[in-house]
């Protein structure tokens, strides 16, 4: 581990201190992310987004008299130039007297999805630094452009409300440590502008131009078209994600009350009576995905709504209308009789 620490940080130029992004980050940390000015760790890759976030957090801390955030760079050792990125962030923090920590992870040595391993190891490293510094939150630089890409990917994959809600402002990554995203209402161009106002440079990730990557392809070929049709669509995506998240929370409350936890496999039909078909379908989908998590693409309306309609429609029908059985993907079977509904998974 490399660490540079100081009780003070060099003030950034006045244009950056007066830039709207400083106030935006401070407000979002407080209002949307629930960070009260205590210890904060900032993940810094070296790109314009994370550098802007770091300096906005530093400036807000200086202005408000709160503790200085600590920068953390996680080196994944996945591409040429990774060590140069790490050295850049370290030098940047040393120059501006920002406490700095470095962590090395090696997702390329693990079998399976390298990107998924990189994300898991990165968050583990960030949480580890946060715990060691008694910081309750880790800030990362996902912004509105990232949010729109996330929602488009979820839409293309056919995911439900969980995917369309995008990335949340705040979520837990370890006991006592929250991951927060105070830039979700900002744009990538805002971050670059802020860096220029602060008089700092950044590193470019060549992977952002690799058209074989889904996000890079969306960024180059899809989002520009969307912005021609709906200017500033990425910034608006965060508002749409918030609305979906609110609806998801309301639906989850209903499902928890009427269906119980996701791993429940049997329900009294009387407990489901009176619900809309779409809500019953959502409850069945949640249970099915808990039993067969790798079959999310298979549980759409065509599979779910006939079963939901049978549950509700035959609830008041003569007993001769039941029982019924629905054979579902993944070897799942849904049994509906006059009194109960049971989901059976293969052993």
pLDDT at 7: 41
pLDDT at 323: 82
pLDDT at 319: 42
At a CB cut-off of 8 Å and minimum separation 6, what does 254 contact? 275, 279
The segments of the chain whose pLDDT lies below 50 read: 1-10, 315-320
Domain at 3-239, CATH homologous superfamily: HUPs (3.40.50.620)
Residue spans per domain, the chain:
3-239, 260-344
pLDDT at 38: 62
pLDDT at 9: 41
Angle subtended by helix axes 301-313 and 277-291, to nearest 10: 120
Query: pTM of this prediction?
Result: 0.85
Q: For 200-217, what is each residue's pLDDT tens digit?
A: 999 998 877 788 889 999
User: For strand 40-43 and strand 137-139, is the pairing parallel, antiparallel, or unpaired?
Assistant: parallel
User: For strand 266-268 and strand 340-344, is the pairing parallel, antiparallel, or unpaired?
Assistant: antiparallel
Residues in the chain: 347
């Amino acid at each position: 581990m490399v660490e540079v620490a100081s009780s003070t940080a060099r003030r950034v130029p006045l244009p950056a201190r007066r830039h709207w992004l400083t106030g935006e980050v401070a407000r979002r940390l407080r209002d949307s992310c629930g960070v009260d000015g205590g210890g904060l760790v900032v993940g810094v890759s070296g790109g314009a987004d994370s550098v802007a976030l770091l300096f906005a957090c530093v400036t807000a801390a200086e202005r408000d008299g709160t503790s200085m955030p600590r920068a953390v760079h996680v080196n994944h050792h996945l591409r040429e130039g990774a060590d140069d990125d790490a050295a850049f962030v370290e030098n940047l923090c040393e120059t501006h007297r920002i406490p700095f920590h470095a962590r090395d992870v090696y997702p390329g040595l693990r079998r399976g999805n390298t990107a998924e391993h990189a994300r898991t190891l990165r968050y583990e490293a960030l949480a580890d630094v946060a715990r060691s510094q008694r910081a309750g939150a880790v800030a990362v630089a996902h912004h509105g452009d990232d949010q729109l890409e996330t929602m488009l990917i979820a839409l293309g994959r056919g995911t439900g409300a969980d995917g369309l809600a995008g990335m949340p402002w705040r979520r837990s990554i370890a006991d006592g440590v929250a991951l927060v995203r105070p830039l979700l209402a900002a744009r990538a161009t805002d971050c670059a502008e802020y860096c220029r106002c602060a008089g700092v440079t950044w590193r470019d990730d060549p992977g952002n131009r690799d058209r074989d990557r889904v996000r890079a392809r969306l960024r180059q070929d899809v989002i520009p078209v969307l912005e021609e049709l709906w200017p500033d669509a990425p910034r608006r995506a965060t508002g749409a994600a918030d609305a979906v998240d609110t609806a998801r929370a309301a639906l989850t409350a209903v499902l928890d009350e009427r269906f119980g936890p996701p791993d429940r496999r049997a329900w009294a039909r009387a407990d489901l009576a009176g619900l809309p078909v779409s809500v019953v379908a959502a409850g069945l989908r949640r249970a099915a995905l808990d039993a067969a998590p790798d079959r999310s693409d298979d549980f759409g309306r065509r599979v779910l709504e006939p079963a939901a309609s049978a549950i509700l429609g035959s609830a008041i029908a003569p007993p001769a209308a039941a029982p019924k059985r629905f054979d579902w993907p993944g070897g799942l079977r849904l049994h509906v009789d006059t009194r109960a509904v049971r989901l059976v998974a293969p052993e």
